[in-house]
Amino acid sequence: MLSFKTRADVSICGCVCISSVDGYYLCPNNFFFLLICFRLFERGLAYVGTDYLSFPLWDKYIEYEYMQQEWSRVAMIYTRILENPIQQLDRYFSSFKEFAASRPLSELRTAEEVDAAAVAVAAAPSETGAEVKANEEEVQPDATEQTSKPVSAGLTEAEELEKYIAVREEMYKKAKEFDSKIIGFETAIRRPYFHVKPLSVTELENWHNYLDFIERDGDFNKVVKLYERCLIACANYPEYWIRYVLCMEASGSMDLAHNALARATHVFVKRLPEIHLFAARFKEQNGDIDGARAAYQLVHTETSPGLLEAIIKHANMERRLGNLEDAFSLYEQAIAIEKGKEHSQTLPMLYAQYSRFLHL
Q: What are 22-56's pLDDT values in tens digits? A: 433 344 456 677 888 889 999 999 999 999 999 99
CA distances in angstroms from 179 to 35, 146, 172, listed in the order given: 33, 53, 10
Percent of the chain with pLDDT over 90: 72
- Tell me the longest C-alpha to C-alpha distance in the chain: 117
Contact 299/307 with Cβ under 8 angstroms? yes
More confident residue, 17 or 200: 200
> What's the chain's average pLDDT?
86
Q: Which residues, 6 or more positions from 214, have their beta carbon under 8 angstroms from its beta carbon?
A: 222, 223, 226
More confident residue, 3 or 20: 3
The pLDDT assigned to 157 comes to 82
- What is the pLDDT confidence band of residue 360, given thresholds at 50, 70 and 90? confident
Q: What is the pLDDT of residues 226-237, one digit of tens each?
A: 999 999 999 999
Torsion angle in degrees (nearest 10) through CA of 278, 283, 286, 287: -150
CA distances in angstroms from 253 to 155, 221, 242, 244, 271, listed in the order given: 47, 12, 14, 11, 26
